[in-house]
Amino acid sequence: MKLRDKVVIITGASSGIGKALAIEFARRGANLVLAARQYVTLCEIAQTLQVEYAIKALAVQCDVAIEEDCATLIKQAKLTFGKIDVLVNNAGVSMRALFKDAELQVLKTIMDVNFWGTVYCTKYALPAITETRGSIVGVSSIAGYKGLPGRSGYSASKFAVNGFLDALRVENLRTGVHIMVACPGFTSSNIRNTALNKNGKPQGESTMNEGKMMTAEQVAIIIANGIENRDRTLIMTLQGKLTVFLSKLWPVFLDKQVFKVFAREKDALLK
């Protein structure tokens, strides 16, 4: 499936991977529905892409943790373009706190955005995507295959997203709907800067070396190619593929290696 003239909804489109996806899809000729809480930023992105790539782009203010916002997003997309070809569930929030220290509201917030946001948008978009035999994409994480220390809520939300989309894939084996799970490695974006600390406040400065990570633009190209090829799962890095492999064959060894990696991060939570 080529993306030219397709209608693509992207949640969390105001920054990071979401913004990079918007640019990449526009470059390939897709018309866009951009969703995020930051409406002014969305409008600026939409206007720029319309001028630069001669596509149509609609900005919709949307908090995916609110079911009504998700319903409105899908309704506006359908009213504006008459169809929906692709839904990219990209909106997400992370955390950085040991479970013993974190307020429970932190985990609830993460589940509301990462998991329920994906469920809400998918629920309302599925009938339209079934009509076009289009694609539903979940931007997940290697944390959805291996629980990461200090990210218990984030890992739980991504495990949930993976399981939800896997079940949805089986349900739609005969409908023509394409379901894809995309798992970037550590990506240089603002998700770590906005990661919630134990009190539910953004942590601010990233604790990892951003220079050694994938760029959001690299992730966007891989996801766009995956949609066009109707791939099933995208594990984007060698580290990610090795993690998935080891989690099945040598889980105890992997536990120790993950501990070592996170014990070396700046201001490490593990001692």
How high is the pLDDT of residue 267?
86
How high is the pLDDT of residue 194?
83
Q: Which two tokens stand for residue 40?
A: 């002014």
CB 57 within 8 A of CB 81: no
- Cα distances (Å, whole numbers) of residue 230 to 70, 96, 152: 25, 34, 31
Residues 6+ apart with CB under 8 A from 226: 137, 180, 182, 234
Q: Which residue has the higher pLDDT, 8 or 202?
A: 8
Query: Which of the residues 120, 124, 145, 154 is marked catalytic?
Result: 154
CB 120 within 8 A of CB 87: no
Q: Which two tokens stand for residue 224?
A: 């766009």
Read off the DSSP letter of residue 12: S
Q: Is the pLDDT of residue 242 over 80?
A: yes
Residues 6+ apart with CB under 8 A from 260: none
Read off the DSSP letter of residue 15: S
Domain 7-238 CATH class label: alpha beta
In terms of DSSP bridges, do strands 178-183 and 187-188 run parallel, antiparallel, or are they unpaired? unpaired
Residues of the chain above pLDDT 70, percent: 95
How high is the pLDDT of residue 24?
98
- Residue 53 annotated to the active site: no
